[in-house]
C-alpha cells in the first residue's frame, strides 16, 4: 500500500461510494433441528457468522405435569417424573419416592438404598455418556457415539431386569424397590463394571487430547462462576465453572455417605470443562456402583410400611389385611398428612428438586418440580453471545438440555 | 453449621414484625413476609457477610382460593453453599391486586422462574424485563394452574369422582 501514491484523480468521489448498510441476519435455529437434540427454538440475530443476540422459545413439549399431578394419587406421579429427564429416568423416579418417604417418614432398608444408588449411578452414566458422545458428534466424530451407545444398551438391559422397562422406567416403589435384584441383574451389573472402562477409555482416547476437539471446545461457551451461580446452575455445569456443589455430598440421601467418591471440578466453565467433568463423573459413578454391588447388604428390599407399599401378591389372596391394603393403595385411598416438603437429589443435570404441598388428601395440593435444565438454559444466549453458530451448537450440546425436563 | 434459630433471630432483628409465621417443616426454616419487604429480605440474605445465602433455588406459586385476601402465594427457596443452609420464604398476595416485585435484579435465574409462575398463575412481577408466557402458547387467555380450571373435562359422565375417592 505504501508505494501507491494517492493522487487526487485516484480517490473516488464520495457520491460513487455505495452507502454501507449494516444489517443483522435473523436465523431460526429450531424448533426441530438435528443439531439441537430436542425441540426448542432459538431465534438468533447474526452479524455474519457471529451471534449478536438470541431469543429462546421453549414449551414445545410442555405436558402440564404439575397440573396432572394435582389429580393423581402419590404413587401414580412416578410415571410423570420419568418423562422429565428421560436420559436418566431412574434418578427422577427414585428422587420422587425419596421425597414422599421423607414426607411420610418411611425408613427405607439399607439394601433398597444400595440398589437405588446402583440404579441412580448407572442412570448418571447413561446420561453423561449421551451428552459427551453427542458432543463428539457435533465436532465431527460420529464413531464414538455409536460405539458407546452399545454400553447404554447394556445399562438399559439392567433396567429391564430391575423394573421391566427401558426408557420410562417407573422404577422403585414408595418404601423400597418393587423387586429384589435378580441374579441376572447382579451378573449384568458385574459385567458392565468390567466391560465399561475399556469403552470409556477409548472414548477418552478419541476426544480428550484430540487437537480438533480441544480447539473446538476450549474457551467456547464459557461462563464465570459468579454468573453461573446467578443463573442458578447446578450439577456438572456448575462444577465445570469451579464450585464443588453436589447434592450427594452436601445433603446425602439414600446412603451416599457410605461411599467413597470424588467430585470433579473444572476451572473455566467452558465446553471442554463441562465435557471433562462429565467424563470424570462417569468414572466416579462406576466406582460407586462397584462399591455398592460389592457391599450390598442383606435384608429386605422394601420398608415395613404396609399402608404405602403394595403387599406381595400371594399375601393378597390369603390375608384380609393385605387385601385391604392392596385395594386401598391401588384405589389411591391412602391420605397423606398435611404439610410441605422440599427434597432434592443430584439429577443428571443438577439439583432436581421436588416441592410438594399436601392438604391432607390423596393427591398433592401443589407439586412443583425444580428442573435444573429449565433454570440454567436461560443463560444460553449470554453464553453464546459473540461466538460463531457452530460453537453455539457445541455450547448447547455440552449444557445437556433435555427437552422433557426443560418443558415438564 | 448455621442454625435456623440464628437466622430467624437475625431476620427478626432486621425486619421486625415484617417477617412472621416461622416454621421448620422437615428442618427447613420457613417464614413469611410481605411483598413490600420480599426484595429487601432476599437481598439481605444474599449479601449477608457470614450467611452467604447466595443461591436462589426456586420460585414458584401456590393458590389458596378460599383464603380471602391471600389467594396467591409466591414461594422462594434459597440455599447457602457455605453453611449448607436452606430457607423458604413465602409471600401471600390478594387476587384483587396480584402484583409482587421482581427478583430479577438480584438473581438472573429469577427471570424464567417468574415467567413460569406468571404463566401458570397470572401473578404479575413488577419490573420484570420480559414478563410473558413461557411454557404455554401466548394466545392462551387463562392461567391453567389455578384451581378453578379442573384437570378433566367436566362434561364427561363416565368418570364419577365418588367412585375414585375424589
Contacts of B86 in chain A (CB under 8 A): 342
- What stretches of B49-135 adopt beta strand conformation (E)? 55-63, 72-80, 85-93, 99-101, 124-126
Nine cell digits for residue A278 = 462429565
With CB atoms and an 8 Å threshold, state whether B151 touches A353: no
Please tell me the distance from the alpha carbon of residue B136 to that of residue A270, in angstroms, as a whole number.
32
- For residue B70, what are the contacts with CB-CB under 8 A and spacing of at least 6? B64, B92, B93, B94
Q: Which run of H or of E encompasses A123?
A: helix A110-138
Which residues of chain A register pLDDT less than 70?
Answer: 1-17
pLDDT number for residue A37? 76
Let me know the angle formed at the C-alpha of A232 by A169 and B84, rounded to the nearest 5 degrees.
Answer: 90
**CB contact A67 to B (< 8 Å):** yes
> Where are the domains positioned within chain B?
4-164
Q: Is B155 helix (H, G, I), strand (E, B) or coil?
A: coil
Q: Is A340 helix (H, G, I), strand (E, B) or coil?
A: strand
With CB atoms and an 8 Å threshold, state whether B165 touches A333: yes
Instruction: Evaluate whether A276 touches A128 at the Cβ level (below 8 Å).
Output: no
Instruction: Evaluate whether A95 touches A341 at the Cβ level (below 8 Å).
Output: no
What are φ and ψ of residue B16, in 5° steps?
60, -130
Residue A64 CB burial class (10 angstroms; 0-12, 13-18, ≥19): middle
CATH of B4-164 among 3.30.460.80, 3.20.20.80, 3.20.20.60, 3.40.50.150: 3.30.460.80
Q: Would you tell me how many other CB atoms lie within 10 Å of the CB of residue B162?
A: 6
pLDDT number for residue A17? 66
Task: Tell me the mean pLDDT in the region B39-43.
Answer: 94
Domains with residue ranges and CATH for chain A: 65-407 (1.10.645.10)
Instruction: Evaluate whether A280 touches A208 at the Cβ level (below 8 Å).
Output: no
Please tell me the distance from the alpha carbon of residue B147 to that of residue B144, in angstroms, as a whole number.
8
Contacts of A250 in chain B (CB under 8 A): 81, 84
With CB atoms and an 8 Å threshold, state whether A71 touches B55: no
Q: Would you tell me how many other CB atoms lie within 10 Å of the CB of residue A251?
A: 16
Q: Which one of A58, A243, A362 has the shortest CB-CB distance to B135?
A: A58
Q: Is the pLDDT of residue B154 over 70?
A: no
Please tell me the distance from the alpha carbon of residue A84 to that of residue A127, in angstroms, as a whole number.
13
Q: Would you tell me how many other CB atoms lie within 10 Å of the CB of residue B16?
A: 10
List, for residues A202-257, the tens digit of each pLDDT value. 999 999 999 999 999 999 989 999 999 999 999 999 999 999 999 999 999 999 99
Buried b vs exposed e over A46-63: b needs ≥16 C-beta within 10 Å?
A: beeebbeebebebbbbbe
Contacts of A66 in chain B (CB under 8 A): 120, 145
pLDDT number for residue A215? 92
Please tell me the distance from the alpha carbon of residue B117 to that of residue B127, in angstroms, as a whole number.
15
pLDDT number for residue A295? 93
pLDDT number for residue A6? 56
Residue A83 CB burial class (10 angstroms; 0-12, 13-18, ≥19): middle
Q: How far is CA A175 from CA A118, A168, A326, A332, in A?
A: 17, 20, 15, 16
User: Residue for cell digits 447457602?
Assistant: B80
List, for residues B71-125, the tens digit of each pLDDT value. 999 999 999 999 999 999 999 999 999 999 999 999 999 999 999 999 999 999 9
With CB atoms and an 8 Å threshold, state whether A229 touches B26: no
- For residue B114, what are the contacts with CB-CB under 8 A and spacing of at least 6? B59, B102, B103, B104, B125, B128, B131
Give residue B150's pLDDT band: very low, low, confident or very high (50, 70, 90). confident
**CB contact B47 to A (< 8 Å):** no
Length of chain A: 408
Q: Which one of B54, B109, B116 has the shortest CB-CB distance to A231?
A: B109
pLDDT number for residue B161? 64
pLDDT number for residue B108? 93
Nearest to A332 by CA among A77, A74, A65, A98: A74
Instruction: Evaluate whether A84 touches A369 at the Cβ level (below 8 Å).
Output: yes
Strand ranges of the sheet holding B19-23, from the earlier edge strand across to the other edge: B19-23, B29-33, B85-93, B72-80, B55-63
Q: Which run of H or of E encompasses A241?
A: helix A235-241
Instruction: Evaluate whether A69 touches A367 at the Cβ level (below 8 Å).
Output: yes
Between A372 and B158, whose confidence is greater?
Answer: A372
With CB atoms and an 8 Å threshold, state whether B58 touches A70: no
Please tell me the distance from the alpha carbon of residue A349 to that of residue A346, in angstroms, as a whole number.
8
Amino acid at each position: 500500500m505504501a508505494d501507491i501514491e494517492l493522487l487526487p484523480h485516484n480517490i473516488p468521489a464520495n457520491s460513487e461510494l455505495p452507502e454501507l448498510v449494516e444489517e443483522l441476519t435473523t436465523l431460526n435455529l429450531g424448533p426441530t433441528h438435528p443439531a439441537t437434540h430436542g425441540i426448542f427454538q432459538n431465534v438468533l440475530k447474526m452479524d455474519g457468522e457471529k451471534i449478536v443476540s438470541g431469543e429462546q422459545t421453549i414449551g414445545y413439549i410442555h405436558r402440564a405435569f404439575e397440573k396432572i399431578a394435582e389429580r393423581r394419587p402419590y404413587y401414580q406421579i412416578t410415571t410423570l417424573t420419568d418423562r422429565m429427564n428421560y436420559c436418566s429416568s431412574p434418578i427422577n423416579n427414585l428422587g420422587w419416592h425419596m421425597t414422599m418417604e421423607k414426607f411420610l417418614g418411611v425408613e427405607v432398608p439399607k439394601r433398597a438404598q444400595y440398589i437405588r444408588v446402583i440404579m441412580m449411578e448407572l442412570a448418571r452414566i447413561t446420561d453423561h455418556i449421551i451428552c459427551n458422545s453427542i458432543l463428539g458428534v457435533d465436532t465431527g466424530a460420529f464413531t464414538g457415539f455409536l460405539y458407546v451407545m452399545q454400553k447404554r444398551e447394556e445399562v438399559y438391559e439392567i433396567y429391564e431386569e430391575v423394573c421391566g422397562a427401558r426408557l420410562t422406567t417407573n422404577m422403585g416403589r414408595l418404601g423400597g424397590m418393587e423387586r429384589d435384584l435378580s441374579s441376572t441383574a447382579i451378573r449384568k451389573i458385574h459385567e458392565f463394571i468390567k466391560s465399561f472402562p475399556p469403552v470409556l477409555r477409548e472414548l477418552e482416547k478419541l476426544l480428550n487430547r484430540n487437537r480438533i476437539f480441544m480447539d473446538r471446545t476450549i474457551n467456547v461457551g464459557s461462563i464465570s462462576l459468579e454468573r453461573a451461580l446467578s443463573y442458578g446452575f447446578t450439577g456438572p455445569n456448575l462444577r465445570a465453572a469451579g464450585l464443588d456443589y453436589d447434592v450427594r455430598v452436601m445433603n446425602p440421601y439414600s446412603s451416599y455417605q457410605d461411599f467413597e467418591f470424588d467430585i470433579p471440578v473444572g476451572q473455566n466453565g467452558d465446553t471442554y470443562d463441562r465435557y471433562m467433568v462429565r467424563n470424570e463423573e462417569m468414572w466416579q459413578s462406576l466406582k460407586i456402583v462397584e462399591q455398592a454391588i460389592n457391599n450390598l447388604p442383606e435384608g429386605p428390599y422394601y420398608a415395613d410400611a404396609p399402608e404405602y407399599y403394595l403387599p406381595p401378591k400371594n399375601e393378597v389372596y390369603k390375608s384380609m389385611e393385605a387385601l385391604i391394603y392392596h385395594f386401598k393403595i391401588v384405589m389411591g385411598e391412602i391420605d397423606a398428612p398435611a404439610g410441605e416438603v422440599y427434597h432434592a437429589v443430584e439429577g443428571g443435570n443438577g439439583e432436581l428438586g421436588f416441592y410438594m404441598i399436601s392438604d391432607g388428601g390423596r393427591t398433592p395440593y401443589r407439586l412443583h418440580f425444580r428442573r435444573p435444565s429449565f433454570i440454567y438454559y436461560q443463560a444460553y444466549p449470554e453464553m453464546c453471545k459473540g461466538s460463531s453458530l457452530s460453537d453455539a451448537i457445541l455450547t448447547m450440546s455440552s449444557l445437556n438440555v433435555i427437552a422433557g425436563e426443560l418443558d415438564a | 453449621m448455621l442454625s435456623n434459630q440464628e437466622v430467624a433471630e437475625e431476620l427478626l432483628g432486621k425486619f421486625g414484625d415484617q417477617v412472621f409465621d416461622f416454621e421448620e417443616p422437615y428442618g427447613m426454616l420457613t417464614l413469611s413476609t410481605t411483598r413490600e419487604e420480599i426484595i429487601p429480605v432476599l437481598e439481605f440474605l444474599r449479601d449477608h457477610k457470614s450467611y452467604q445465602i447466595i443461591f436462589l433455588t426456586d420460585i414458584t406459586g401456590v393458590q389458596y382460593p378460599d383464603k380471602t385476601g391471600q389467594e396467591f402465594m409466591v414461594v422462594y427457596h434459597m440455599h447457602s453453599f457455605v453453611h449448607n443452609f436452606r430457607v423458604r420464604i413465602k409471600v401471600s398476595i390478594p387476587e384483587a391486586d396480584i402484583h409482587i416485585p421482581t427478583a430479577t435484579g438480584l438473581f438472573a435465574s429469577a427471570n424464567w422462574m417468574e415467567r413460569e409462575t406468571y404463566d401458570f398463575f397470572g401473578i404479575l412481577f413488577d419490573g420484570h424485563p420480559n414478563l410473558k408466557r413461557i411454557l404455554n402458547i401466548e394466545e392462551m387467555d387463562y392461567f391453567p394452574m389455578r384451581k378453578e380450571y379442573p384437570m378433566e373435562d367436566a362434561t364427561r359422565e363416565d368418570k364419577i369422582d365418588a367412585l375414585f375417592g375424589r
